Amino acid sequence: MPAHHSDPIAAIATAPGRGAVGIVRVSGRGLGPLVRAVCGRALKARQATYLPFRDARGEPIDQGLALYFPAPHSYTGEDVLELQAHGGPVVLQLLLARCLEAGRAALPGLRLARPGEFSERAFLNGKIDLAQAEAIADLIDASTEAAARSAGRSLSGAFSQEIHALRDALIHLRMLVEATLDFPEEEIDFLRKSDARGQLSKLQQMLHAVMQRAQQGALLREGIKVVIAGQPNAGKSSLLNALAGAELAIVTPVAGTTRDKVQQTIQIEGVPLHIVDTAGLRVSEDAVEKIGIARAWEEIAAADAVLFLHDLTRVADPAYCRADAEIARTLALQRGARTPVVDVWNKSDAAPAGADAAAHGLRLSARTGEGLAALRRKLLNIAGWQSAAEGVYIARERHVQALRRAHAHLVEAAAHLDAQAHALDLLAEELRLTQNALGEITGEFTADDLLGVIFTKFCIGK
């Protein structure tokens, strides 16, 4: 373990700003002298004690609760002191300064914690695995109730338990394969009698089920980016407002009112959808509007889905139809088959008789709300969301990628097993690589630079 991981650390553990309660947290080995220096006496383990917090001159800073958690029964696995005071920024800064000042004599080496360092120590000391550590940040950052509940399941170990079950079954199969390599004359019969093929098939089925839930969890965490595109006055801003349920974008009859993107995150069945309203796509000589149109195409290029909005009231206008066809060609060239483009026909409430015959896609009215439910279902379908989300745990893209690598290695392993005696050493290697991929999720096989990326995204004090 690097030397800086053994330094005692301190930080304010509550969010910046004013509040009823604020917490200063200290973690390290041998906190007893610091506890006595800051609290004026020793504390009973895991028992809240109400007392005054005083500065070095004995002047009161505040009064509050002090809790002492001796190692290893603490969040970090080290001794932990938590001071709960009134949540004023100045009070907490004074309390933190008092801890650091007392640490010079009572706890040499005490320093301010880096972002995420308390959780990093919990991971390094075996209190939580890496997936659980990430779930802490995801629980804090959850933007929907479904995401929060899923993060809570990951934090409790639901995701990790499934990974461990996969790992244990994989280790058993690896033991069989490794044993056959030591006795080559018996290897085919030995693997057949042990039903190695059946075990591998069961592993693949288990992994497939975990991948499905992880993909749903990643969707809850990340959501998808949906860009609304189309000609001016097709109702793009009205559609954004209707989906968001609020007047976010300015709506006027004047073409080109929207000159820059307007973005809002909404949720449908707990899935975050990042909706982006863009400038109307047309040929323009207005310098400002041209910049907005260029930005619209940039947003389209980065979208997970595009809603191509058409105006039902203008389907009989040849110039309008030609412009729509040109946008469609540009979308096809730019996006290809990578990103779905959904044709949405707006203003159904004002469309002339016979206009429906030209509409090949979803019909709706952003003004009345007709068709919005169908559009929401379509967006969930594009995202790959499954309504039966009970039991889903939060996951990250790196987890999904690790599971995909594990799946690819198991496919290769099955091919080598089918080749039997000619490829058992390759089979053993593919199984080892599968275990490594699974280990990346829980942190059993994780590079230090990845740990740095993960924990530096946490808030200070967590």
Reduced to 3 states (helix: H, G, I; strand: E, B; else coil), residue 403 is: helix
Q: Tell me if 60 sits within 8 A of 50, measured CB to CB.
A: no
50-63 pLDDT per residue, tens: 999 999 999 999 99
- Taking alpha carbons only, the member of 252, 254, 257, 305 closest to residue 278 is 257
Q: CATH top-level class for 3-129?
A: alpha beta
% helix / strand / coil in the chain, to the nearest 5? Answer: 50, 15, 30
Q: Tell me if 379 sits within 8 A of 268, measured CB to CB.
A: yes
What are the residues whose beta carbons fall under 8 Å from the beta carbon of 371, sequence distance 6 or more? 348, 362, 363, 364, 365
- Extents of the domains making up the chain: 3-129, 136-218+396-443, 223-383
Q: Is the pTM of this model over 0.85?
A: no
**191 vs 124, higher pLDDT:** 124
CATH 1.20.120.430 fits 136-218+396-443, yes or no: yes
180-194, 264-278, 438-452 — most confident range = 264-278
209-261 pLDDT per residue, tens: 999 899 899 888 888 999 999 999 899 888 988 888 755 544 444 444 454 67
365-393 pLDDT per residue, tens: 999 999 999 999 999 998 888 765 567 88
Q: Tell me if 70 sits within 8 A of 60, measured CB to CB.
A: no
- Taking alpha carbons only, the member of 17, 15, 38, 18 closest to residue 26 is 38
Q: Domain spanning 223-383: which superfamily?
A: P-loop containing nucleotide triphosphate hydrolases (3.40.50.300)
**387 vs 404, higher pLDDT:** 404
pLDDT of residue 389: 54
- ∠ CA(254), CA(258), CA(264), 5° rounding? 135
Bridge-based pairing of strands 305-311 and 79-87 is unpaired
Q: Evaluate if residue 3 carries a pLDDT over 70.
A: no
- Taking alpha carbons only, the member of 351, 352, 384 closest to residue 366 is 351
pLDDT of residue 417: 86
Mean pLDDT of the region 321-340? 84
Strand blocks (E) in 124-269: 224-230, 262-268
